[in-house]
Amino acid sequence: MKHLSDYQVNDRIAEREWSPTYAQLRQYAEASGDLNPIHLDDAYARRAGLDGVIAHGMLTMAQAGAMLMEWMGGEGTLKSFAVRFERMVSVGERIKFSGYVKDKDSDGLACVLVATNDKGEKKLSGSAVLCFESDR
Partner 1 sequence: MSFKGEWLDLSSQALRDVIGWEGEVTVRIEEGAVRKFAEAVGIPFGKRVPPTFLGALMQGGAEGLEAFQDGTVHGEQSITYHRPVEIGDCITCTRKVSDVYERTGKLGKMTLVVVDTKGLSADGKVVFESSSTVIHSAR
Shortest distance (Å) from residue 119 CB to partner 1: 18
Buried-state track 80-114, b at ≥16 Cβ within 10 A, e below 16: ebebebbebbbbebebbbbbebeebeeebbbbebb
Residue 24: exposure state from Cβ atoms within 10 A (0-12, 13-18, ≥19): middle
Please say which residue, 8 or 49, places its beta carbon nearer to partner 1.
49
DSSP string across 26-60: HHHHHHHS---GGGT-HHHHHHTTSSS-B--HHHH
Helical ranges in the chain per DSSP H: 22-32, 42-47, 57-72
Distance separating alpha carbons of residues 24 and 87, to the nearest angstrom: 19
Shortest distance (Å) from residue 8 CB to partner 1: 23
Shortest distance (Å) from residue 126 CB to partner 1: 8
Shortest distance (Å) from residue 76 CB to partner 1: 11
Please say which residue, 78 or 110, places its beta carbon nearer to partner 1.
78
Please say which residue, 1 or 8, places its beta carbon nearer to partner 1.
1
Please say which residue, 30 or 51, places its beta carbon nearer to partner 1.
30
Please say which residue, 101 or 130, places its beta carbon nearer to partner 1.
130
Q: Which residues bind partner 1 (CB under 8 A)?
A: 18, 24, 27-28, 30-36, 48, 56-59, 61-63, 65-66, 68-70, 77-85, 88
Shortest distance (Å) from residue 17 CB to partner 1: 11
